[in-house]
A and B are shown apart, each in its own frame.
Chain A
């Protein structure tokens, strides 16, 4: 449940509407910035990072992305969750010549390099366990997202 403490309900958005990656990042950043989670530099840096090192993941029938950037742009640690109204195109983490239509985005705001392995392991459980991924993508409201993250245990 370590990962659950990173999920801020004010940074969860189910049914987010965005036409493209730029709009999506702008919207997610605005919320995080308003609430003091990130610095202004976070937005240009996360866009830059995504263009060089993309974070789209295609896992069986599902596609998600885990955009993140350098720790110095993060004020307070968080994981922002957006379930998209309609998919947004991301390039694949392992191959930036390929794209995937992303259905949900986990934006990682991390600033402590070594103390968060438990959080990351639990996060990987959200990504790697198909049942969890399905619950994430089909979440109807914020409560569904919160419940999902509270249910994660490291096996």
Chain B
């Protein structure tokens, strides 16, 4: 099976996506799954989605995408982290 790719996006690709990326790195290491994480700006997601499996965005999602997309504000606010972990894993452990 090919390694799955997750796009980690925020508005600027600099602040909140870095926090989300860091959290996801820990999560996939803990779960021992092979996933490639790509940090990007939300504006870049449209052109990158064809080579990816999941979008995790720290901001609102401005449009619909062809692959599943989740909002990861929980990792910023600290509320609902475990639920979001589970939801993300449900897409990755197929």
Give A residues with C-beta under 8 Å from B: 49, 52-54, 57-60, 66, 68-71, 92-96, 108, 110-111, 113-114, 116-117, 120-121, 124, 127-129
Contact = CB atoms under 8 A, between A and B. Distances in A.
Given A68-B12, A124-B76, A127-B77, A53 B18 contact: no
A59 B75 CA distance: 12
A49 B77 contact: no
B62 A70 contact: no
B18 A93 contact: no
Interface in B24-70: 39, 42, 58-60, 62
A112 to B, nearest CB: 8
B71 interface: yes
Contacts of B16: 66, 93
A52 B11 CA distance: 9
Given A121-B22, A128-B78, A69 B73 contact: no
A128 B77 contact: yes
Interface residues of B, number: 22
Contacts of B12: 49, 68-71
A124 B78 contact: yes
B78 A127 contact: yes
A123 to B, nearest CB: 8
Contacts of A69: 11-12
Contact of B58 (A70, A93, A113, A127): A93
Interface of B: 10-16, 18-19, 22, 39, 42, 58-60, 62, 71, 73, 76-79
Contacts of A70: 12, 14
A153 to B, nearest CB: 16
B22 A120 contact: yes
A120 B18 contact: yes
A31 to B, nearest CB: 20
Contacts of A116: 18
Given A53-B42, A59-B78, A128-B78, A94 B14 contact: no
Q: Which of A59, A66, A92, A124 has the most CB of B within 10 A?
A: A124
A95 B60 contact: yes
